[in-house]
């Protein structure tokens, strides 16, 4: 399960056909805290969400993110694809 545990954020890159132009603006800390410097909002990410965002900010494509998450958590890529699409749709709502 990929997700934001509470609160909300914002983002840039293309995931699930959606462009997230401010994805790289998010300030991520290793403990799962994400801060959007534009809105001042903070979010708490679970470890999977944090890894997905870190991979995306590193410039990985959607397929690469899915592949790495599937390998890391020993999940079928189809399962990871659904969760990843849902996660980045959620991110888009938070990143105006």
Partner 1 sequence: MSARSDSTPWSQWTVAVTGINARPENPGPGCAVARCLSEASGFRGRVVGLGYETLDAGLYHPDDCDGGYLLPYPAAGREALMERLEEILRHDHINAIIPSLDAELPNFIALQGVLAKRGVRMLLPGRPELRRRDKDRLPELCAQAKVATPRVRPISDARFFERCTRAEEGSWTYPLVVKGVFYDAYVVQNPTEAAYRFGQIAQTWGYPVLAQAHIAGEEVNLTALGDGSGALIGPVMMRKQALTDKGKAWAGVAIDDSDLLAVGERLMHALKWQGPLELELLRDAEGVLHLIEINPRFPAWIYLSHGVGRNLPVALLGLMQGVAVADLPLAAPRPGVTFIRHARELIVRMEEIVSVSMNGATLPRCDPIAPRLRLIA
Where on the chain is the footprint of partner 1 (CB under 8 A)? 27, 35, 37-42, 96
CB of 4 to partner 1, least distance (A): 18
User: Which pair of structure tokens corresponds to residue 10?
Assistant: 């914002």
Distance between CA atoms of 18 and 11, rounded to whole angstroms? 11
DSSP 6: E
CB of 41 to partner 1, least distance (A): 8
Nearer to partner 1, 41 or 60 (CB): 41
Nearer to partner 1, 4 or 95 (CB): 95
CB of 70 to partner 1, least distance (A): 33
Burial (0-12, 13-18, 19+ Cβ within 10 Å), 23: buried
Name the packing angle between helices 47-57 and 62-73 (round to 10°). Answer: 140
Nearer to partner 1, 27 or 71 (CB): 27
């Amino acid at each position: 399960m990929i997700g934001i545990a509470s609160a909300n954020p914002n983002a840039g890159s293309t995931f699930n056909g959606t462009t997230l132009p401010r994805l790289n603006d998010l300030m991520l800390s290793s403990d799962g805290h994400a801060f959007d410097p534009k809105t001042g909002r903070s979010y708490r990410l679970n470890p999977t969400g944090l890894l997905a965002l870190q991979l995306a900010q590193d410039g990985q494509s959607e397929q690469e993110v899915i592949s790495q998450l599937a390998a890391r958590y020993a999940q079928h890529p189809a399962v990871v694809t659904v969760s990843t699409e849902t996660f980045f749709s959620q991110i888009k709502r938070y990143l105006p």
